[in-house]
């Protein structure tokens, strides 16, 4: 049993079961880099506060560096029975220097665990932001590979109105661009220094919290020590942003699983992101997309897990809060891997342009265009809507496609249809009426595509 940071008050040590039950080293060792960095900054503050001499501070900072380097070697954790990563680091420090006994002066693990998690999570958010930018880039590329393709847009998974392929892809661009904003907002709440809060009541030493914040590159300092010990909102903010991102990824995955079926047949997924069947030789399954969809549930589960952990905890710290880490770590892993995977799938996708074009041509996605043309010609919209509805009904009965109608047969069906309206029976024509900002008109989409590229550039700057 490794030595505790709190053994003095106890006559016997913890039971073996309690040690196994409560220990967190096997997962919170992920925070060792942050723990060392935070402790080094704290050592510098202890020097400013007169607790350590410059020489002592230097000895400790070097010892921390050595511990971090050693932690990257195999075997570092073998046999370690420390309660958590913070305890392990201090034990290793004690093996190097008796000065280790001074490092925890005026510091609590309650603030240390908040500090470490914030430092670590800040770096992971930056990586998540980069991965999102990578996906946005892959999506723009995919839009540009088929600039003039036309697909039916869906509501209720029934053909609704025709849109340019880039317009469909840019819908996802918007979702993932908002996801980036959500992660940036989460980052601002993570980027606040908790150190100086003590266990819950503030430290008993006159630390210059602003200078520790500057040392660790934090934007701000926390304003209430009790809040620090009790708060995991910053982790929840990340988990919410991660969950929304996963929902967007999952919907993209679902779209492309459907669009790449034999029944739809629009999309070809590359061999590199699909798998076969051990029994059925013909199969090419979209496993990469299915796993993205599957991991979405897992990340939402992590958000729920922490919300439920926090609900009803009395102020301030409670050991329940140690349960924040596994869901947080797992969500970070799953969202990052999913973003990476989605970008690779996007880069591998080819649109068989003729298939959705035919689906758009056959599917009466032009009906709204006709109804709106009638309205533009002065026919009250509800009446025009009814006329076109009857035209569709008649076509369905007679097995007619939109382009089977001529200007003459249209006018014969109803005199409200002027000869020029027959042009609208082709989806490409009606789309041209939708060139307002945000619309699916080809001009509007070209502008949106250029704008999206500029926005991605400024996100990356």
The set of catalytic residues is 156, 277
Ranges within 34-93 binding ligand ARG (CB under 6 A): 84
The DSSP code for 432 is: G
Name which position in 176, 240, 317, 364 contacts ligand ARG (CB under 6 A).
317
First to last CA, the chain: 50
* 223 close to 45: Cβ distance less than 8 angstroms: no
From 121-129, 237-245, 313-321, 326-334, give the range in contact with ligand ARG by CB under 6 A.
313-321
* 151 close to 163: Cβ distance less than 8 angstroms: yes
In the complex, least distance from residue 315 CB atom to ligand ARG, rounded to whole angstroms: 14
From 42-50, 108-116, 162-170, 359-367, give the range in contact with ligand ARG by CB under 6 A.
108-116
Euclidean distance between CA atoms 132 and 138, whole angstroms: 10
Decide: is 191 part of the binding site for ligand ARG (CB under 6 A): no
**DSSP characters for 311-345?**
TTPPSS--GGGGGGHHHHHHHHHHHHHHHHHHHHH
In the complex, least distance from residue 34 CB atom to ligand ARG, rounded to whole angstroms: 13
In the complex, least distance from residue 123 CB atom to ligand ARG, rounded to whole angstroms: 18
| Residue 28 CB burial class (10 angstroms; 0-12, 13-18, ≥19) | buried
Nearer to ligand ARG, 200 or 252 (CB): 200
Nearer to ligand ARG, 239 or 371 (CB): 239
Name which position in 71, 110, 316, 368 contacts ligand ARG (CB under 6 A).
110
In the complex, least distance from residue 432 CB atom to ligand ARG, rounded to whole angstroms: 60
In the complex, least distance from residue 84 CB atom to ligand ARG, rounded to whole angstroms: 4
Ranges within 2-41 binding ligand ARG (CB under 6 A): 24
Q: Bridge partners of 158? A: 155
Name which position in 32, 43, 103, 113 contacts ligand ARG (CB under 6 A).
113
Q: Torsion angle, CA of 378/382/387/392, rounded to 10 degrees?
A: 130
Residue 227's Cβ-side half-sphere holds a number of Cα atoms within 13 Å equal to: 9
H/E stretch holding 443: helix 442-460
Name which position in 81, 97, 285, 322 contacts ligand ARG (CB under 6 A).
322
Site string for ligand ARG, 264-303 (x = CB under 6 A): ----------------------------------------
Nearer to ligand ARG, 71 or 108 (CB): 108
Euclidean distance between CA atoms 323 and 316, whole angstroms: 15
Euclidean distance between CA atoms 270 and 123, whole angstroms: 32
In the complex, least distance from residue 191 CB atom to ligand ARG, rounded to whole angstroms: 20
Euclidean distance between CA atoms 379 and 387, whole angstroms: 10
Give contact residues for ligand ARG (rule: CB under 6 A).
24, 84, 109-110, 113, 317, 319, 321-322
């Amino acid at each position: 049993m490794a030595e505790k940071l709190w053994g003095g008050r106890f006559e016997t040590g913890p039971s073996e079961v309690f040690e196994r039950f409560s220990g967190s080293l096997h997962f919170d060792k992920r925070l060792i880099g942050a723990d060392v960095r935070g402790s080094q900054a704290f050592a510098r503050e202890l020097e400013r506060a007169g607790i350590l001499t410059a020489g002592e501070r230097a000895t400790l900072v070097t010892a921390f560096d050595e511990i971090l380097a050693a932690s990257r070697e195999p075997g570092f954790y073998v046999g370690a029975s420390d309660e958590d990563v913070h305890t392990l680091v201090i034990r290793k420090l004690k093996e190097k220097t008796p000065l280790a006994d001074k490092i925890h002066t005026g510091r609590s693990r309650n603030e240390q665990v908040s500090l470490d998690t914030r430092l670590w999570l800040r770096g992971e958010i930056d990586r998540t932001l980069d991965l999102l930018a990578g996906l946005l880039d892959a999506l723009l590329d995919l839009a540009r590979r088929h600039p003039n393709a036309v697909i039916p847009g869906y509501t209720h998974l029934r053909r609704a109105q025709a849109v340019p392929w880039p317009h469909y892809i840019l819908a996802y661009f918007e979702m993932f661009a908002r996801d980036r904003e959500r992660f940036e907002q989460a980052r601002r709440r993570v980027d606040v220094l908790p150190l100086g809060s003590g266990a819950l009541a503030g430290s008993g030493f006159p630390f210059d919290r602003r200078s520790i914040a500057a040392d660790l590159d934090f934007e701000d300092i926390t304003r209430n020590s009790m809040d620090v010990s009790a708060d995991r909102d910053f982790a929840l903010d990340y988990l919410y942003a991660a969950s929304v991102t996963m929902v967007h990824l999952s919907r993209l995955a679902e779209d492309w699983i459907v669009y790449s079926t034999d029944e739809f047949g629009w999309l070809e997924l590359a061999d590199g992101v699909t798998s076969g069947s051990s029994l059925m030789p013909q199969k090419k399954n979209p496993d990469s997309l299915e796993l993205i969809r599957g991991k979405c549930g897992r990340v939402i589960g992590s958000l729920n897990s922490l919300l439920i952990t926090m609900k009803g905890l009395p102020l301030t710290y409670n050991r329940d809060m140690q349960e924040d880490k596994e869901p947080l770590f797992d969500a970070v892993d799953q969202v990052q891997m999913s973003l990476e995977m989605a970008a690779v799938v996007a880069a591998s996708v080819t649109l068989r342009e003729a298939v959705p074009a035919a689906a758009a041509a056959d599917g009466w996605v032009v009906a709204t265009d006709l109804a709106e043309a009638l309205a533009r010609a002065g026919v009250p919209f509800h009446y025009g809507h009814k006329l076109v509805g009857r035209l569709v009904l008649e076509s369905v009965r007679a097995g007619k496609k939109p382009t089977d109608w001529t200007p003459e047969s249209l006018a014969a069906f109803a005199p409200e249809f002027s000869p020029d309206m027959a042009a609208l029976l082709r989806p490409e024509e009606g789309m041209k009426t939708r060139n307002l900002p945000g619309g699916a008109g080809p001009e509007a989409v070209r502008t949106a595509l250029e704008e999206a590229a500029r926005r991605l550039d400024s996100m990356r700057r």
